[in-house]
Structure 1
Amino acid sequence: MTRIETPWGPWEAAPLDEVIALMRGLTAPWWVAGGYAVELAVGHAYRDHDDVDIALLRRDQLAVRRLLDGWDVHAAVVPRTLRPWELDEVLPESAHDIWIRELPDGPWRFQLMLDEAEGQEWIYRRDSRIRRPLAGLTVEEDGFHWLVPEVQLLYKSRGMRPKDETDFAMVLPLLNDEQRRWLAEALETEHTTHPWRERLRHHS
């Protein structure tokens, strides 16, 4: 894994299988997100990954914090600011990005992302008009879940980094009509116009 320097110390992502093994101790729902989720949809490795993202619902935050007792866990509460997340502390709604490392001053190993929900409905945190049933949010494979690609691409649509463009190009031919339609509508809702919408239409 690549070692990356950040203002808050070095980042050296743990292998995905090690993070999955740790998260299996959590009884609440969780899923692999980020670039790995798209790669799992594609079915084979095609690029390097600088980090490992694991997502879960905000309402299950205390369960995962207890699972990580003994780890050094920090929450990004204010943009570009990290502070320790204490055991049994309920984070403010502004916090959705959690950084985890094994020892203070060691490299950061993976991230947790807190997702919003009401009942059995997932809510896109950047635009609450975009929702879908939790039952259709993830896919189970090998005993763990990963985020469906159309939702992960929605998260990636704001950054438009080279790796996001690569992920979109790799998974686009594999999306079915329903997935393409959902993503196109979500992009229209959040962005009004977006270059991916035209490409989604051309693959319909």
Structure 2
Amino acid sequence: MLPGALAAFTGRWWLAGGWALDRHLGRQTREHGDTDVLVLRHEQRALREALADWDVHAADPPGHLRPWAPGEQLPDGVHDVWCRRTPTAPWSLQVMIDDADEGVWRYRRDVRVTRPVGDLDGPASTDAMRVLAPEVQLLQKSKQPRPKDEADFAAVVPVLEPERRTWLAEALRMVSPSHPWLAAL
């Protein structure tokens, strides 16, 4: 599931995407095409160094991939990095780069939604691996949910702890007051 390349990364990272939600559920609910992780922007250079032997591309501008050169600082608007072991291998790692200031994470689509960085760890986190909190991951999936995002939401919400449901509902009300997921929260 998780590429060994991140073993060389000295910064903090969280397992994200569908794998993070599956970890929260304690079972695999669907097939996953790649592994997603979240990294904080101020640690991006260490990440690029850890992936020195990989073919790494930044979504810059969003929706278009371009090579991410070693030593390059990505602009603030770049939040996604796609990685594969070689130029002919399939994409296997997607890195979401999020912003945090003075220990506070900021949702990239609406900076009014914040959270202490320490609260990004979900209940499935262990000493060996941080797993993104399920409510944060669902918020990330909420903008334009694809069928797999809808399936992830339907699988996770019934077991989401009340305080996590409340946080997600409040965040959704702030960024998308008529979001259809609010009815299930």
**Which of 1 and 2 has greater Rg?**
1
- Amino acid across the alignment from 1:122: W
- 1:123, 1:32 → 2: CA distance? 18
* Percentage of pairs with the same residue: 46
**1:183 maps to which residue?**
168
- 1:179, 1:35 → 2: CA distance? 17
SS of residue matched to 1:141: coil
1:27 aligns with 2:10: yes
1:61 aligns with 2:58: no
How large is the RMSD of aligned CA atoms in angstroms? 1.2
**More divergent stretch after superposition (22-31 vs 128-137):** 22-31
- Amino acid across the alignment from 2:60: V
Q: C-alpha offsets along residues 90-140 of structure 1, whole Å, 9 cap, x if unaligned?
A: 011111111111222332221111011011110000000000001111132
- Amino acid across the alignment from 1:39: D
**More divergent stretch after superposition (134-143 vs 74-83):** 134-143
**1:148 maps to which residue?**
133
Q: Aligned-pair distance for 1:61?
A: 0.3
The structure where strand makes up a greater share of residues is 1
1:46 aligns with 2:36: no
What does 1:1-16 align with in structure 2 at a 5 Å threshold?
A: 16=1
- TM-score under structure 1 normalisation? 0.86
- 1:65, 1:161 → 2: CA distance? 29
**2:149 maps to which residue?**
164
**1:4 maps to which residue?**
none
**1:105 maps to which residue?**
88
- TM-score under structure 2 normalisation? 0.94
Gaps of 5+ in 2: none
- 2:114, 2:63 → 1: CA distance? 28
Matched pairs, number: 183
- 2:15, 2:91 → 1: CA distance? 17
**2:179 maps to which residue?**
194
Q: C-alpha offsets along residues 40-63 of structure 1, whole Å, 9 cap, x if unaligned?
A: 111101111122111100000000
**2:56 maps to which residue?**
73
Gaps of 5+ in 1: 1-15
- 1:62, 1:165 → 2: CA distance? 34
- Amino acid across the alignment from 2:37: I
